[in-house]
Chain A
Amino acid sequence: MKKLNTYENLKKLIGSHYMQGKTAHFFNQKVGWVSSGAPVELLRPFDVITLYPENHASICGAAKQGSEFCEVAEAEGFSRDLCSYFRCDRGSTLLGTSPIGGLPRPDFLFGCNNICGTILKWYEIASRHYDVPFLFVDTPFVHTAITDHAVEYVTAQLQQAVESLESLTGREFDEQKFVRTLELSKKCVELWTRTLEFGAYKPSPLTCFDAFTQMAAIVSLRGTQEAVTHYMTLNQELESRVQKGIAAVENENIRLLWDNIPVWYAMRGLSELFEKYHACLVADTYTNAWASAALDTGNPMESLARNYLEIYLNISMDLMLERIVALIHRFDVDGMVMHSNRSCKPYSLGQYDLARCIKEETGIPVVIIEADMVDSRVYAEEQMRTRIEAFLESLGE
């Protein structure tokens, strides 16, 4: 797979993001731990440093330290069936270490249950551990469509969170800064959407493995100028690849859609395996979860509420299916690879039914592989290889 030059940019960007976290207390800045589905835009006007335990756990996973940290959490009594991001974070907290020297101590926590219920318990545990407040936004599950009541309910909580943040930081909420943040966030999401849309080109100039790496900025730096600048550079590189006819996977002849969080510790092996068969994973449901926002700066709070309500993992299987089918058509894929992620229930529950519906509705074949995002103890490389190879052989025939 051809490495994107912008990868170096990203490394610097994320490096300095964590460095800011490390030096925050020295500069009297507050550190907030934020869940990936939380409306971070609300925090930016307070000039707090935001860090993402989920992103940190993925770094631990990619560095192949995930299982070791998980075991520490298990020794404390947490079940092996719990989320491996949580276990990894907990283990890293207890050991006080990680590939980046541990996540800096938080002054507060900000989480939202739109990605899973685990966040609530995870952050409660962290809140007790560090003895810091936990601001929580409850987002009702979207069964068919977002209800007005749900929007009102979430909007009210966002307003409440603003008050809590005011007393926590001793600063007043700056409306103007908030609107500017939303504008930047909107811009960032648009650029990120554009990045992912490049996968529709044939051949595609990027694979979902690129997206998995590049997503770090949309997750952690949404609503900042740095993220906007980064994605502009990235899109320029992708644009030039398209113009020069440079493919991410040479002689691309199979186009695939990936579902679920990546297998962080096996990214390289997996990407090489697909490449060997000239198969390109041109899109995925995971990174596309950050590409759907339609923020309205004219009606900031309500629009924020709507946006965070319809997060991919907060919608019913029927709605998920609609989005998947749309991706299948938009990216014109030949097949789908579903990662049944052992410890991520909201993402993995229902995959077998989804797979059946997808086959019926679109006629494309689906293969389900079993692994975990961070805990490599459940990963059987040879079995995984056979399944994927058999799938690719059948597509290549």
Chain B
Amino acid sequence: MWCGIDIGAATAKLVLFENMVVSSTVIPSGFDTVKTAEELMERGVEKAGIHRRDIRGIVATGYGRNMVPMADRTVTEITCHARGAHYLDSQVRTIIDIGGQDSKAISLDASGKVKDFVMNDRCAAGTGRFLEVMARALEVELDELGDLSLRCRENVTISSTCTVFAESEVISYKNQGKKKEDIIAGVHEAIASRVLAMVHQIPIKEKIMVTGGVALNAGMIHALERKVEKEVEIPEDPQVVGALGAALLAKES
């Protein structure tokens, strides 16, 4: 059994792999990364019904990768996402990963090797954080955003580049009596254009796979597809692609 642990800004993910994905676990990233990793491991092992000693290698990735005591080695999330996405679909040439606190685009060759990548790790606009802030301002649960936005009738434009000012804009729309679903669609549109501006720095080739927690939001994907003018692929469990890649790398080393 091989294990990949991805400690992200918002969530921590674990994948156990033995010829196929045996189990995957997602928990919120706590303040104490060491404790988070421990808890993740315990839950993962329990879920898979195995013993810890059955695990032959562990690779840690994500921003907390250097704080995972049980890891044999660390690899960045760029390499892990590439590895994971290539395993899920070897036709993937572009990955768009929108995480809790950053977003990135990775270009792959046919063998799954990273050819190029770009990251936005400077600005919350274009990341999951933007959605979290807006969900709070609109009094909507994070996982309701997607379905709500698909009911949009009238497009609302969020023009601010900055999350904080975009929130003010959302509040003023609220006070103009705009509908929640229209505002949410506008929010998705705004994130999609920020992400696309970044993605365009690398050649966008099909197939395109979207990973990260934000890929769970159907409205967001809809907005992204419209912007990119191409179909995008969403894996079954987009949050754990990085952890899956880490597990595969553990197996290879």
Q: Of all chain A residues, which has the CB nearest B114?
A: A394
Quick check: which of B21-29, B74-82, B209-217, B221-229 contacts chain A, the rest being far away? B74-82
Instruction: A387 to B120: give the CA distance in the assembly, Å.
Output: 10
Write the B117-142 contact mask toward A (1 if CB under 8 angstroms, else 0).
Answer: 10101100000000000000000000
Closest Cβ–Cβ distance, residue A123 to chain B (whole Å): 32
A340 to chain B, nearest CB (A): 10
A386 close to chain B: CB less than 8 A: yes
Inter-chain contacts of B114 with A (CB < 8 A): 390, 393-394, 397
Residue contact B201 to A386, C-beta cutoff 8 Å: no
Count of residues in B whose CB is under 8 Å from the partner chain: 16
Residues of A within 8 A of B178 (CB): none
Q: Are B113 and A386 in contact (CB under 8 A)?
A: no
In the complex with contacts A352-B201, A359-B116, A397-B114, A390-B78 CB distance below 8 A: yes
A120 CB to nearest B CB, Å: 31
Q: How far is the CB of A348 from chain B (nearest CB, A)?
A: 14
B63 at the interface (CB under 8 A from A): yes
In the complex, A380 has a CB within 8 A of chain B: yes
Judged by a CB distance under 8 angstroms, whether B115 is at the interface is yes
Say how far A338's CB is from chain B's closest CB, in angstroms. Answer: 12
* In the complex, residue of chain A having the shortest beta-carbon distance to the beta carbon of B201: A352
Complex contact A393–B121 (CB within 8 A): no
Whether the pair A387, B119 counts as a contact (CB closer than 8 A) is yes
> Which residues 340-397 of A sit at the B interface, judged by CB distance below 8 A?
352, 356, 359, 365, 370, 380, 382-383, 386-387, 389-391, 393-394, 397
Count class of interface residues, chain A:
10 to 19
Q: Give bound CA distance, A387 to B78, whole Å.
A: 9
**B76: contacting residue among A356, A393, A397, CB under 8 A:** A393
Specify which chain B residues have a CB less than 8 angstroms from the CB of A389 in the assembled complex.
76
Q: Which residues does chain A contribute within 8 Å of B79, judged by CB atoms?
A: 390, 393-394, 397
7 A/B residue pairs, CB under 8 Å, sorted by A: A359-B116, A386-B121, A390-B78, A390-B79, A390-B114, A394-B114, A397-B113
Known: A380-B122, A387-B119, A393-B78. 13 other contacts (CB 8 A): A352-B201, A356-B201, A359-B116, A370-B122, A382-B63, A383-B122, A386-B63, A389-B76, A390-B76, A390-B77, A390-B114, A393-B114, A397-B114
